[in-house]
Amino acid sequence: MTYSLIQLAPGAYDLLLNGEVMGSVVRNGSQQPYTWTAELLEALPRSKRPAPFKEIEHDFPTLEELRNWLGNPAVKSNSGK
């Protein structure tokens, strides 16, 4: 499975799996230290969730840790830059 992230705005990303949007990644809070959440769009039963999702949402202290958990997906901007 190959994940990728498309940045929509500072602190907000679409999460794609094999080219299909299946979740989001967002920065929580307006002041540091921020936390980051990866969330599935659908409340799939545990047996149908893509790895490494064991829950619908997972929280991380940094974007780097979240990306490592997903297998270091490519990050693209939606602005084409």
Q: Using one digit for the tens of pLDDT, what is the confidence trace for 38-75?
A: 999 999 999 999 999 999 999 999 999 999 999 999 99
* Rounded-to-integer distance, Cα 57 and Cα 69, Å: 13
Count CA within 13 A, CB hemisphere, residue 15.
24
pLDDT score for 31: 82
Record the pTM.
0.89
Q: Residue 28 has which token pair? A: 């929580």
